[in-house]
């Protein structure tokens, strides 16, 4: 298998120190091994993040990061590779930024993606700065499935070569100055290729399963019931005419487009079309009421600078959703209007909308309205 570290870093290997964000999983472990094989000076680091103290320990060990088991796995891999390893306490920062944001957005009737905020504020801000200032890093590497292309205009963010694992969506809010110091060593590989390399390197995590859920809790409903109790209150389910059809268990337990779990017996299928926080009401309607052709995004990050006017691109409104043709118009430095060619279901405030031209990610923002 040809060795390719996304695309060549500006400095030659012998002159570069790369700190690898290790999670104890196979992707970041192979990222570290590939960098070593390419001749870079490599050091490992892991963030100790906040975890719900009321979490079920058995569930936490199965799916969570930062448990004793995942730290041990990362330390074991670092030992196998012969590189230094450091554990950084970022629990307070994580709680004050990512967890607080998660609770606040759900309390406002939104459906947040905490990975976006973690990447922007913790992983590729705090950890990158720590690696540069305290560990002598020239670059920070992670096991994300995305690619970078270094051009005269700056660093472009590209979709990962493995479509099923592409993670450019959750990296879209990272600003240009941070992207210039990143590298994604497995971004040009498929997951089976990564596992094959892990076996070739003899890594102990070669067959380790993936974690799919939130990193700080395995049951977001129980989490919100404890940490956002004031927002988790039963209330009416109303149709578009304002008629009460039933009772919901708490707005944070629902999302736009949801059909199952409403507990309604009606002659036609109904979906969540809105969450009215002021009335604590869940608004439902038929499928045709879900369609939206326009949205406004806030906190927009343009990776290579905002365009001077409207542009044509494909816009993706969920991590695993398809991208759809749209016209994107910057409204000011941090806001943009996205007008789709056709009405889409599931446009959800709190999620990200990410802009693409072919495989190049232009940037993205948070869906505001």
What are the residue numbers of the active site?
118, 215
DSSP labels for 190-233? -HHHHHHHHHHHT-TTTTPPPP-S-SS-S-HHHHHHHHSGGG--
Quick check: 136 and 187 in contact, CB under 8 A? Answer: no
Question: Which residue is it, tokens 């599931």?
Answer: 346
Question: Which residue is it, tokens 């059809």?
Answer: 245
Smallest CA-to-CA distance from 93 within 117, 71, 113 is with 117
Quick check: 186 and 213 in contact, CB under 8 A? Answer: no
CA distance 127 to 112: 22
Tell me the two tokens of residue 100. Answer: 């607080």
Where in the chain does DSSP place strands (E)? 17-21, 41-48, 85-89, 139-141, 146-151, 154-159, 182-183, 235-238, 244-248, 271-276, 281-285, 292-302, 311-316, 324-330, 336-344, 352-357, 360-367
Backbone angles phi, psi at 44, to 5 degrees: -105, 145
Q: How far is CA 251 from CA 108, 152, 243, 245, 275, in A?
A: 9, 48, 18, 15, 7
Q: How many residues does the chain have?
A: 369
CA distance 7 to 23: 23
Quick check: 168 and 157 in contact, CB under 8 A? Answer: yes
Phi/psi-derived region of residue 363, left when phi > 0, alpha when psi is between -120 and 50, beta in every other case? left
């Amino acid at each position: 298998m040809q060795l390719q570290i996304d695309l060549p870093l500006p400095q030659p290997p012998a002159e570069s120190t790369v700190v690898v964000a290790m999670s104890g999983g196979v992707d970041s472990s192979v990222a570290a091994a590939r960098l070593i094989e390419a001749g870079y000076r490599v050091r490992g680091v892991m963030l100790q993040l906040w975890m719900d103290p009321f979490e079920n320990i058995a569930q936490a060990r199965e799916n969570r990061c930062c448990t004793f088991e995942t730290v041990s796995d990362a330390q074991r891999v670092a030992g196998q590779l012969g590189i230094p390893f450091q554990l950084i306490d970022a629990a307070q920062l994580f709680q004050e930024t990512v967890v607080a944001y998660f609770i606040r957005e759900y309390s406002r009737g939104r459906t947040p993606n905490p990975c976006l905020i973690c990447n922007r504020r913790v992983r590729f801000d705090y950890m990158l700065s720590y690696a540069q200032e305290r560990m002598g890093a020239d670059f920070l590497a992670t096991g994300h499935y995305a690619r970078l292309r270094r051009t005269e205009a700056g660093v472009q963010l590209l979709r990962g070569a493995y479509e099923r694992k592409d993670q450019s969506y959750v990296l879209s809010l990272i600003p240009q100055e941070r992207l210039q110091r990143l590298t994604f060593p497995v971004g040009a590989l498929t997951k089976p290729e990564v596992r094959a390399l892990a076996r070739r390197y003899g890594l102990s995590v070669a067959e380790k399963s993936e974690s799919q859920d939130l990193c700080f809790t395995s049951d977001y409903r129980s989490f919100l019931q404890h940490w956002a109790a004031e927002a988790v209150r039963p209330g009416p389910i109303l149709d578009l005419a304002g008629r009460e059809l039933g009772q919901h268990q708490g707005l944070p337990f629902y999302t736009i487009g949801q059909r199952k779990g409403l507990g309604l017996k009606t002659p036609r299928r109904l979906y969540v079309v809105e969450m009215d926080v002021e009335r604590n009401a869940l608004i439902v309607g038929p499928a045709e009421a879900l369609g939206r052709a326009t949205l406004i995004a806030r906190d927009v990050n343009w990776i290579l600078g905002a365009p001077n006017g409207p542009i044509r691109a494909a816009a993706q409104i969920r991590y695993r959703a398809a991208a759809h043709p749209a016209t994107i118009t910057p409204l000011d430095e941090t806001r943009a209007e996205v007008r789709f060619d056709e009405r889409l279901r599931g446009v959800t405030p709190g999620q990200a909308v990410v802009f693409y031209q072919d495989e190049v990610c232009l940037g993205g923002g948070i869906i505001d309205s």
